[in-house]
Structure 1
C-alpha cells in the first residue's frame, strides 16, 4: 500500500541527494547538450514515417504486412521498456544510474537502424514482414535504452515547475529542428529525381544514403547528450547503495504496477498513446498526401519540412508562458484541439474542392503556413504533457517514498514508440480501407482514390486526438499541488541529512 512520505521513517527514503539539490540553474551548455540528444529520437520517428512508403511503394510489400509488422513491435516495447526504466532507477555506478544506458546505446542504435533499411534479397512479402518486425524491435530497444534514462533525468536536473517545461521546450525544439534538417537533407540530396524515378521520394537508391546518414546522426546526438550532461551527475539522484533496497524481481514488478496505477499517470498515458498514434498516422500519410494528392516533388516537400523549425521556434518560448498562465493541463488540452483542427483543414477543403489545386503557385506557401500553425500548437501540447509527467514523479515520491522516474519515463518512451508503430499500423489500415493501390505511379492515381483516402483519414485522426483530450481531463496535479510535493520532499530530505549527521557523531547543520 502507498505510504505518505511524512509518515515514514526518513531513513527509508531511498533517493539521494534530496530534491533541493536540483534547484540550481542548469548550465547553458548542459541544456544544449541535453536538448541536442532529442535529435536521435527525432531522426528515428521521421525515418519510420518513411518506412511504410519505402516498403509499400518502393519494395512493393502490401501495406497491411508492413504496418502490422511495425505495430507488433509494440508488444516488445510493452515488455521491455518498463524493465529498462526500472533497471536504470536501480543502477549504481561511478557515472550515475542514467549515463551507462545513454552512452552504451549509441552504437547499437546506429547499427540496427541501418539494418532495417537493408532487407536481404529474395524474401517473400511475409518473410520481409518478419524481417521488419525483428530488426525494428531491436532498433526500438536500443532507442529506449537512450530515451528512457535521458528523459528520466529531467526531474533530477530541476524540480522547478516552470523550468521543467523550459527544459522540455529545448528538447522538443532540437527534436523538431533535427527532423527538418534530416528530412530536408534527404529530400534535397538523396531522393533525387531521375528519368527512371521521376518522383524522388520513390527512388530506391536514395534510401541507402538516407539510412547511413540517419544512423550516424543518431549516434552523434546520443553521445553529445551523454557526454555533455556528465558534469551534472554529482547533483543528480542516485540509486540507494543498500542491497536490501534493491529487492527481488517480484518487488520490482510490484513497484512498477503500483506506479502505473497513479491516476495522473494513467491520464497522461492514455492521452499520450492516442495523440502519438495520431501523430504517427499523420506523419506516415503526409507523404501520401504530398505525393499523390498535392502532386509535390521531393524539393517541394523539403521546403515543407521547414515547418518543423518554425513550429518549434514558436512553441519553445510559448509553452512555458502558457503553462504558467493557464496551467499545463489546460494548455495541453486546448492546443491539442486547435492544432488538429488546423492540421486537417487543407484536406477537408480539398475534399470539397475549395483548396488550392495541385500545381498552384501558392500551394506550398499555404501548406507551410498551415503546417507551422498546427505544428506549433501541437508542439506546445507535447511539451506540457512531458513536463506534467515529470511532476507525476514527485507526486508519486510523496505518496510512496520511491522516486521512480525511470519507470514513469519508460511509459513516455512507449508512447513515443506508438508514434512510429501504432501510427503506421493505423495508416496501413486507412490505406487498405481506402483501397489505395500499391507501387503506383502518382499520375495514374484516380480522383476517387484520393478522396477516399481523405475520407478515411480525417475522421480517424480527429477521433484519436479528441479521445486523448477527454482522457486528459482526469489529470489532477496543478501547480499548487506540485509545489506542495516539492516542499514535502525537501522536508524529508532535510530530516534524512540531519539523521545522517547525528549518526556520524557530528552536530546538526544550522539553517
Structure 2
C-alpha cells in the first residue's frame, strides 16, 4: 500500500461517525443479554428446576471446568484473530462463523435430556457447555475486540462506550429481566420454557451483530502484513504480564466481575428460598434496578470527565458494594425493590469504565511493543468475566452444601435458620469482601493522570 494512502486511512480511522459508533454499540445488546442470562440462571436451573442427578458441589465442579476451558479458549481465539488476514478484516470472519452454532448450543445448554444417569448427565453438560462457550467466544469476543480500534482518542472512546452502555442496558434488561420472564411464562415446563428462552437470546445476539458486520469497517493497517511480523501466543502472555497497568487492571476486573457474578447467580436462589418468587415474578423485581441505571449513566460520565475514569470506577464500586449488606433486611418485596434501585446506581458505573480502562491499557501496550493486540486483551478480559462466573458457581455450591440449603422445598416453603443465613451470606457478605479487595487493587492501578496523558500523546504520534 502506498505511504500516502496508508496515512490517509489511519487519519480516517481515528474518527468514527456517530452512526458507525451506534452500529458497533448495538452488538452490546446481544453480548450482555446472552452472558447475563447464563450467569443468572444456569446454576439455579440445574439445581432447583431440573434437579439433575448431581449434587450441588457436582454442578459447581462442572461449571468450574467449563470456566477453565474458557480460560484457555478466550485468549487463544483473541490471539488467532489478531493474526488473521482477510478481506473482511481480523474479527468479522469469526463473528460470522460462530452465529449458527451459537443458536444451536444456546438451546441445548438449558435442555438436559431427562432420565440420564449421573455419569451421562456429566458428559452431556460438559460437551454442550464447551461447545456453547466456543461459539460465544467466536461471536462476542471478536466483536468486543473491535472496541479499541474504533478510536485512539480517549474522549472518542468514552463516547463510543456511552453508546455501548446505552445498548448494554437493553441487553441487561433482556438477560436479567426478559430471560426469566420468557422461561417463567411456561410455568414448570422447564425444558420447553428455558429451551425457547435460550434460542430467543441467541437470535437476539446474532441480530445485534449484523450492524457491526454490515456497517463497521476494520482498519486494514492493524492487520499483520507479513508472516514474519506474527508473534507467538506465549510471547504475548509474557509481555503483557510485565505491564504493571495490565496486571492491576486484570486483578480489579476479575474481582469486580466475581463480586457481581456471586450476587447475580445467587439472587434466583434468594428470591425462591426467602421470598417464594417464581421466575416471572422475580424478573419484574430485577427490572427495577434499571430505573436508576440509565440516569446514573450520564452522572458517571460527568464524574469521569472531571475526575477521570479510574476515579469514577472507584466511586461506582463503593456505591454498588455498600448496598448488599442490607439483604439481611430483605424479607419483603418492597424492600427488595428499594435495594435493587440503589444497586442500579453503582451498577451503571461498573458497566462503563472497565471498557475504557482496557482501551487505555491496550494503548500503553502499543507504546511499549509497537503492536495493536486488541484481540488478545479482549480475550483475557473475556476470560476474567467467564472465569469469575465459574468461580461464583463454585462458591454457591460450597455455601449451599455447608448451610444445607434444600433443593426439594426451595420455592415451596420459606427458608429459616441456617439455610436462610447461607443465602444472606451469599448475597450480602461474600460480594462485599471481594469488592473491598478490588478497591484496594484499583487504588494501585497506575495508568491515570499525567501518565495516561503521555500515553495518549505517544499513541496519537505513532498512528499519524
- With the length of structure 1 as denominator, give the TM-score of the two structures: 0.82
Matched, 1:67 2:36: no
- Residue in structure 2 matched with residue 375 of structure 1 by the alignment: 344
The equivalent residue for 2:328 is 348
Determine the C-alpha separation between the residues in 1 that align with 2:164 and 2:398: 32
- Which residue is equivalent to 2:234? 253
- The 2-side partners of 1:71 and 1:123 are apart by 21
Partners of 2:281 and 2:307 in 1: CA distance: 38
1:402 equivalent to 2:395? Answer no
Relative to 1, partners in 2 of residues 1:468 and 1:210: Cα closer, same or farther, differing over 3 Å?
Answer: same
The residue that corresponds to 1:263 in the other structure is 244
Question: 1:25, 1:121 → 2: CA distance?
Answer: 51
Q: What is the distance in 2 between the residues matched to 1:157 and 1:390?
A: 10
- In the alignment, which of 387, 393, 397 is matched to residue 418 of structure 1? 387
Question: In 2, Cα distance between the equivalents of 1:186 and 1:237?
Answer: 40
User: Residues 32 and 136 (structure 1 numbering): CA distance in 2 closer, same or farther, change over 3 Å?
Assistant: same
CA 1:227–1:176 in 2, change beyond 3 Å: closer, same or farther?
closer
Alpha-carbon distance between aligned partners in 1 of 2:12 and 2:450, rounded to the nearest angstrom: 21
What is the aligned partner in structure 2 of residue 385 from structure 1?
354
Deviation per CA, 1:332-373: give whole Å up to 9, x if none.
Answer: 12211221111331x1335xxxxxx44xxxx33x42332122
Does 2:433 correspond to 1:440? no
| Structural mapping, 1:14-93, within 5 Å | 20-28=11-19, 30-60=21-51, 61-93=54-86
Q: Does 1:178 align with 2:171?
A: yes
Residue 320 of structure 2 corresponds to: 339
**Is the Cα contact below 8 Å between 1:85 and 1:410 reproduced in 2?**
yes
Which residue is equivalent to 2:225?
241
- Residue pairs, 1:91-170, within 5 angstroms: 91-170=84-163
Which runs of no fewer than 5 residues in structure 1 stay unpaired?
1-10, 194-199, 351-356, 495-511
- Which of 293, 299, 309 aligns to 1:312? It is 293
RMSD of Structure 2 on Structure 1 (CA): 2.6
Aligned residue number for residue 290 of structure 1: 271
Deviates more, 1:286-295 or 1:180-189: 180-189
**Helix, strand or coil: the match of 1:425?**
helix
The size of the alignment, in residue pairs, is: 457
Q: Out of 463, 481, 484, which is 2:433 matched to?
A: 463
> Which is further off, 85-94 or 38-47?
38-47
**Cα drift, residue 397 of structure 1:** 0.4
The reply on whether 1:485 has 2:464 as its aligned counterpart is no
Query: Take 2:133 and 2:274, find their aligned partners in 1: how far apart are those partners?
Result: 32
5+ residue gaps, structure 2 = none
Alignment CA distance shift 1:222-1:478 (3 Å):
farther
Residue 3 (structure 1) aligns with: none
Cα offsets for 1:185-240 (capped at 9, x unmatched): 454454248xxxxxx4xx2x144233334334324433432443543325465312
In structure 2, relative to structure 1, the CA distance for the partners of 1:41 and 1:109 (3 Å cut) is: farther
Structure 2 Cα separation of the partners of residues 286 and 220 of structure 1: 24
1:354 maps to which residue? none
CA shift digits 1:434-475 (9 cap, x unpaired):
210122243434411212431455332112111122122221
Offset of residue 86 of structure 1: 0.9
Match of 1:430 among 379, 385, 399: 399
Distance across 2 between alignment mates of 1:420 and 1:37: 19
Contact (CA 8 Å) 1:98, 1:153: kept in 2 or not? yes
Deviation at 1:257, TM superposition (A): 2.3
- Tell which structure's C-alpha radius of gyration is larger: 1
Is the CA contact (8 Å cut-off) linking 1:33 and 1:228 kept in structure 2? yes
Q: Normalising by structure 2, what TM-score?
A: 0.90
Aligned with 1:233: secondary structure? coil
CA contact (8 A) 1:192 1:206 kept: no
Q: Deviations 1:46-86 (Å, cap 9, x if unpaired)? A: 13421111111122232211111111112212222111111
Q: 1:460 to 1:99 in 2, by over 3 A?
A: same
Q: Is the 8 A contact 2:400 2:422 kept in 1?
A: no
